[in-house]
């Protein structure tokens, strides 16, 4: 398995993206932004379709740009309209999936081409994706750790964070951009439909076993890495799409965490 160059690339991407998504996920779930992540990943479908339409063999650039555009649209509409954020996101999600599918149908792409973006594909991870993942991992991972204080504070309450001297608007903006870039790059491995699971499931798994945020962050990163690597390897063994395999692996870990917690009532956290 490790002798195949495509497999080396896929495992490297999983090694970088699993922990990064899991670390971001701790704050994404606590800030109730899981649907936000889902919306920008689905927005990527239009980016993929536009890339094909422009004749690009590899639509990574339009995919990332369109995800950023959708993220910007959510933020802009939330500030400028009276609409509930969920409404804005549901509108953009369904809208971009619809436009993407219409363009792809008109282009008469083979269903396999579309499916590999919907559910992830080991073969789709090229050297470019591995480099992107590595750079994101290094830059975003370091940035998150340097700003854990401020990020924790805005998660507790933005007003309180402001009074403590945090530049709330700027930090929120950076967080949205970082999340969007990570989701866009992880789509190659997990697919548009399933990418958010790597952000949501590891923190939930860690949550059942942790007593404080530090434990939750460390465990979440470990679960993200194990789920991404295990799922990618299993996907090769079983010749099934990569995204579903990673999700199933993460869910298996989640169930184990629940059982573990059930067996050790001393750790039970809920009062």
Partner 1 sequence: MHLCPEHQGPLVVETRNLRVALAGRPILDGVNFKVPKGQLVALIGPNGSGKTTLLRCLLGLQKPSSGEIRLFEGTDIREALPRIGYVPQRIDIERSFILSVREFLALRMEKARNWFWHAHKTSDEMLGTTLAEIGVEELLDRPLAHLSGGQLQRVLIAFSLLRNPELLLLDEPTAGVDAPGEQTFYDLIADIQQRRKLTVVLVSHDLSMVFRHAAWVYALNGVICCEGHPEHVMNAESLKQAYGIHVSPYHHHHHH
157 belongs to the binding site for partner 1 (CB under 8 A): yes
Task: Using CB under 8 A, pick the residue from 3, 212, 237, 239 that binds partner 1.
Answer: 212
Which residue has 């530090």 as its token pair? 214
Q: Which residue's CB is nearer to partner 1, number 165 or number 266?
A: 165
Asked whether position 54 contacts partner 1 by CB under 8 A, the answer is no
* Footprint of partner 1 on 55-114 (CB under 8 A): none
* Residue of 182, 205, 216, 249 that binds partner 1 (CB under 8 A): 216
- Nearest distance from C-beta of residue 252 to partner 1, angstroms: 20
**Which of 2, 79, 211, 239 touches partner 1 (CB under 8 A)?**
211
Indicate whether 258 belongs to the interface with partner 1 (CB under 8 A). Answer: no
Site string for partner 1, 136-155 (x = CB under 8 A): ---------xx-xx--xx-x
Q: Which of 138, 159, 255, 264 binds partner 1 (CB under 8 A)?
A: 159
What is the dihedral angle through the alpha carbons of 158, 161, 162, 168, rounded to the nearest 10 degrees? -60
Question: Per CB under 8 A, does 165 bind partner 1?
Answer: yes
Q: H/E/C letters for each residue in the chain?
A: CCCCHHHHHHHHHHHHHHHHHHHHHHHHHHCCCHHHHHHHHHHHHHHHHHHHHCCCCCCHHHHHHHHHHHHHHHHHHHHHCCCCHHHHHHHHHHHHHHHHHHHHHHCCCCHHHHHHHHHCCHHHCCHHHHHHHHHHHHHHHHHHHHCHHHHHHHHHCHHHHHHCCCCHHHHHHHHHHHHHHHHHHHHHHHCCCCCCHHHHHHHHHHHHHCCCHHHHHHHHHHHHHHHHHHHHHHHHHHCCCHHHHHHHHHHHHHHHHHHHHHHCHHHCCCC
Neighbours of 72 (CB within 10 A): 15
32 binds partner 1 (CB under 8 A): yes
The yes or no reply on residue 234 touching partner 1 (CB under 8 A) is: no
Q: Which residue among 156, 255, 259, 268 contacts partner 1 (CB under 8 A)?
A: 156
Distances in whole angstroms, Cα of residue 185 to Cα of each of 70, 136, 238, 260, 270: 15, 9, 24, 33, 36
204 binds partner 1 (CB under 8 A): yes
Please tell me whether residue 270 binds partner 1 under the rule CB under 8 A.
Answer: yes
61/146 with CB nearer partner 1: 146
| Total interface residues for partner 1 by CB under 8 A | 33
Q: What is the dihedral of CA 152, 129, 74, 171, to 10 degrees?
A: 30
Q: Which one, 109 or 162, has the nearer CB to partner 1? A: 162
CB of 28 to partner 1, least distance (A): 11
Please pick, from the candidates 123, 160, 255, 267, the single residue that binds partner 1 as defined by CB under 8 A: 160
Q: Does 268 bind partner 1 (CB under 8 A)?
A: no
Binding region for partner 1 (CB under 8 A): 26, 29-32, 145-146, 148-149, 152-153, 155-157, 159-160, 162-165, 203-204, 207, 210-214, 216-217, 269-271
């Amino acid at each position: 398995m490790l002798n195949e160059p495509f497999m080396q690339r896929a495992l490297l991407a999983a090694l970088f993206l699993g922990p990064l998504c899991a670390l971001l996920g701790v704050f994404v779930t606590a800030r109730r932004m899981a649907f936000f992540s889902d919306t920008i990943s689905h927005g990527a479908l239009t980016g993929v379709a536009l890339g094909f339409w422009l004749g690009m063999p590899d639509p990574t650039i339009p995919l990332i740009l369109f995800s950023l555009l959708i993220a910007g649209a959510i933020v802009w509409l939330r500030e400028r309209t009276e609409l509930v954020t969920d409404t804005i996101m549901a509108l953009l999600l369904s809208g971009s999936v619809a436009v993407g599918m219409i363009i792809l149908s008109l282009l008469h792409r083979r269903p396999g081409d579309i499916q590999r973006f919907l559910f992830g594909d080991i073969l789709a991870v090229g050297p470019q994706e591995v480099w992107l993942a590595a750079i994101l991992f290094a830059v975003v991972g370091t940035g998150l750790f340097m700003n854990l204080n401020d990020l924790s504070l805005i998660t507790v309450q933005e007003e309180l964070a402001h009074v403590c001297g945090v530049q709330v608007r700027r930090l929120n903006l950076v967080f949205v951009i970082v999340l969007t870039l990570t989701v866009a790059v992880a789509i190659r491995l997990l697919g548009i439909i399933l990418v958010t699971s790597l952000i949501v499931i590891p923190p939930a798994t860690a949550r059942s076993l942790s007593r404080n945020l530090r434990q939750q962050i460390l465990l979440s990163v470990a679960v993200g890495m194990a789920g991404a690597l295990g799922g990618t390897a299993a996907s090769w063994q079983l010749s099934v799409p990569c995204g579903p395999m990673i999700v199933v692996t993460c869910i298996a870990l989640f169930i184990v965490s629940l059982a573990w917690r059930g067996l050790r009532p001393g750790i039970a956290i809920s009062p």
